[in-house]
Amino acid sequence: MARTESVMLPLGSIAPLFELYNPVTGKTTKLSDVKSETATVVMFICNHCPFVIHVQDVLVEVARNYQAKGISFVAINANDVENYPEDSPEKMKEVAEQLHYPFPYLFDESQEVAKAYNAACTPDFFVFDDELKLVYRGQFDDSRPGNDKPVTGDSLKEALDAILNGQPVNPNQKPSLGCNIKWKQ
């Protein structure tokens, strides 16, 4: 587990398009299928990373609460499943169903989408406005496994609340910290 910070794609960047396999439905999902007229959260997660496991229960709660307010969420796993079989599409489906993910959990087998987003770690969060311009990238909150800070989702929620209130998102954003994405060799 290499502790890796997110790269912090420049604010204002346009969301790269994607069409990825959804192991839960067995179909593909495009960015246009999940885009919201308010804001869209694209997050890179996986099954086995302790940083993802640490936040996933609160992440599901935050996603449910903000989906009810018109913000969409989509999760993407780009890990190399040959070397990390616990992140396979079959296991993704199990995790999504077990945790009742209220968002699509997509598999980026080629890793091209993760590269297009400049994703570096899991979890890594990107929030795009109604025009798919990047307004937030970085951490879920200040909690990390073992640091005794509660998991709240406050960093992400602050950005989403600003959008919902018609306010600019604070550009002073902290990078996420997690496991590096497991790139294919």
- pLDDT tens sequence across 26-72: 999 999 999 999 999 999 999 999 999 999 999 999 999 999 999 99
| Structural domain span for residue 23 | 3-180
pLDDT tens string 4-21: 888 878 999 999 999 999
Q: Which CATH number goes with the domain that contains 58?
A: 3.40.30.10
Spatial neighbors of 95 by CB under 8 A, at least 6 apart, are 47, 101, 105
Quick one: how far is CA 72 from the chain centroid?
11
Question: Taking residues 122-129, what's their average pLDDT?
Answer: 97
Q: Is residue 185 part of a domain?
A: no
Render pLDDT for 160-176 as a digit per residue (tens, 0 to 9). 999 999 999 999 999 99
User: Quick check: is 76 in a domain?
Assistant: yes
How many domains are contained in the chain?
1
Which residue type is seen at 151? V
Q: Quick check: is 86 in a domain? A: yes
Task: State the sign of the Cα–Cα–Cα–Cα dihedral 100, 159, 36, 33.
Answer: negative
**Residue 161: its H or E element:** helix 154-164
Mean pLDDT along residues 115-138: 96
141 domain-assigned: yes
